[in-house]
């Protein structure tokens, strides 16, 4: 299946679609939160709307000697990175930017989050927020290397870094079938760079610190929306790189991409309340001593298969 690049006029539509799917993810999270409290799940569907209205009315909090420009840049950085991630992800047969290095582009946008989250912690000039920023850096040290090699695995199988080629290479067999380790590692990294679920310690509201400790109003909305958008961008990339993208019978390719993205996104959102929050300083050792070797072994197996196939 070939992928065509659309004109730049479609960029606003791509951004709107990303925000719409992210809003649906927030609604699902609200429903799951309501159910966990013993309420009917439907009562939580409008939680994102109510929270948005509350935060837009709330005054921005100010702190003594805050570095306001860097605080604002960090807060908006998550949503910006998510928007830049999805420009290379094909929606069926269309993509906004058909880059020859699409996989590298996605990884580079993920690395931008290191700076964005840390700046969100540095800007308020608050000890609790700054600790949250350093917590994210400790977490990033654990997930980044495994993520890089997990992203390399489908690229090696397709012998290309272009996402359209990854989709075409999965005709007949999705990569997730023979790359389960890389897929699981990728999904874990999506949770980590979205500061979500077991990797949400950097945004924690405990006395140990969190980047949201001093953030309120529109700034808090931007960070929260950015986390949902990052989950959505990660799910879209995972559906493309491991689940066949637009490949599928009967339905149009764009609809298959949306359905696969929605299914993976729902799983990622649901994990928030299924797994405990992990301490970032305890992640590096298992990540480098267990997860990284397993990911490299997965990459080696895929490389051997590609060489044998010729």
pLDDT digits (tens, 9 = 90+) for 188-207: 999 999 999 899 888 876 65
| Bridge partners of residue 95, in order along the sequence | 5
Cα separation, 28 vs 245, whole angstroms? 23
CA 100 to chain centre: 21
Instruction: Please say if the pLDDT value at position 20 is more than 90.
Output: yes
Residue 70 pLDDT grade (very low, low, confident, very high; cuts 50, 70, 90)? very high
pLDDT digits (tens, 9 = 90+) for 168-181: 999 889 999 999 99
Helix axes 102-122, 217-241, angle to 10 degrees: 160
What pLDDT, on a 0 to 100 scale, did the predictor assign at position 174? 95
Instruction: Please say if the pLDDT value at position 210 is more than 90.
Output: no
Instruction: Please say if the pLDDT value at position 3 is more than 90.
Output: no
DSSP run (H or E) holding 182:
helix 180-193
Q: Mean of the per-residue pLDDT values for the chain?
A: 91
pLDDT digits (tens, 9 = 90+) for 75-108: 999 999 999 999 999 998 888 888 999 999 999 9
CA distances (Å), 8 to each of 14, 98, 162, in order? 10, 12, 18
Residue 6: exposed, middle, or buried by beta-carbon count in 10 A (0-12, 13-18, 19+)? middle
- Percent of the chain past pLDDT 90, that is, above it, reads 69
Instruction: Please say if the pLDDT value at position 130 is more than 80.
Output: yes
Question: Which region among 35-49, 206-220, 260-274, 293-307 has the lowest average model confidence (pLDDT)?
Answer: 206-220
Q: Which residues contact 128 (CB under 8 A, 6 or more apart)?
A: 207, 208, 209, 210, 213, 214
Domain boundaries of the chain, sorted by first residue: 4-309
What pLDDT, on a 0 to 100 scale, did the predictor assign at position 277? 87
Q: Which residues contact 257 (CB under 8 A, 6 or more apart)?
A: 90, 91, 92, 236, 239, 240, 245, 246
Coil, strand or helix at 95: strand
What pLDDT, on a 0 to 100 scale, did the predictor assign at position 89? 93
Residue tagged 């840390």 (tokens):
118
Contact 256, 246 (CB under 8 A): yes
Residues comprising the chain, all counted = 310
Mean pLDDT, residues 30-54: 90
What pLDDT, on a 0 to 100 scale, did the predictor assign at position 214? 85
Range 279-283 contact pairs with CB under 8 angstroms and sequence separation of 24 or more: 279/201, 280/135, 280/136, 280/138, 280/139, 280/142, 280/199, 280/201, 280/202, 281/138, 283/138, 283/139, 283/142, 283/143
What pLDDT, on a 0 to 100 scale, did the predictor assign at position 44? 86
Residue 255 pLDDT grade (very low, low, confident, very high; cuts 50, 70, 90)? very high
What pLDDT, on a 0 to 100 scale, did the predictor assign at position 306? 93
Report the C-alpha dihedral over residues 123, 125, 130, 131, rounded to 10 degrees: -160
Cα separation, 81 vs 108, whole angstroms? 9
Instruction: Please say if the pLDDT value at position 209 is more than 80.
Output: no
- Percent of the chain past pLDDT 70, that is, above it, reads 98
Cα separation, 98 vs 87, whole angstroms? 8
3-state helix, strand, coil in the chain (%, to 5): 70, 0, 25
Q: Is 269 left (phi over 0), alpha (psi -120 to 50) or beta?
A: alpha
pLDDT digits (tens, 9 = 90+) for 256-299: 999 999 999 999 999 988 888 888 888 999 999 999 999 999 99
Pairing status of strand 4-5 against strand 94-95: parallel
């Amino acid at each position: 299946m070939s992928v065509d690049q659309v004109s730049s006029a479609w960029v606003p539509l791509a951004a709107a679609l990303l925000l719409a799917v992210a809003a649906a993810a927030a609604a699902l999270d609200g429903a799951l939160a309501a159910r966990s409290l013993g309420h009917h799940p439907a009562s939580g569907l409008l939680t994102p709307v109510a929270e948005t209205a509350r935060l837009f009315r709330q005054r921005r909090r100010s702190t003594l000697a805050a570095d306001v420009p860097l605080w604002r840049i960090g807060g908006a950085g998550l949503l910006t990175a998510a928007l830049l991630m999805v420009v290379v992800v094909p929606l069926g047969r269309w993509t906004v930017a058909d880059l020859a290095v699409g996989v590298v582009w996605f990884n580079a946008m993920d690395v931008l989050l290191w700076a964005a989250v840390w700046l969100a912690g540095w800007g308020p000039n608050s000890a609790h927020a700054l600790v949250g920023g350093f917590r994210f850096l400790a977490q990033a040290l654990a997930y980044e290397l495994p993520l890089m090699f997990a992203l390399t695995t489908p690229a090696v199988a397709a012998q290309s870094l272009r996402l359209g080629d990854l989709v075409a290479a999965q005709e007949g067999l999705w990569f997730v079938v023979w790359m389960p380790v890389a897929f699981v590692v990728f999904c874990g990294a999506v949770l980590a760079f979205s500061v979500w679920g077991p990797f949400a310690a950097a945004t924690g509201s405990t006395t140990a610190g969190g980047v949201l400790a001093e953030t309120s109003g529109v700034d808090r909305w931007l960070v929260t929306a950015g986390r949902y958008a990052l989950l959505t961008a990660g799910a879209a990339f995972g559906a493309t790189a491991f689940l066949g993208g637009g490949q599928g019978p009967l339905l149009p390719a764009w609809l298959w991409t949306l359905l696969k993205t929605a299914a993976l996104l729902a799983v990622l959102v649901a994990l928030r309340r299924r797994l405990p929050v992990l301490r970032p300083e305890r992640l590096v050792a298992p990540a480098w001593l267990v997860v990284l070797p397993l990911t490299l072994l997965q990459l080696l197996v895929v490389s051997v298969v590609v060489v044998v196939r010729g």
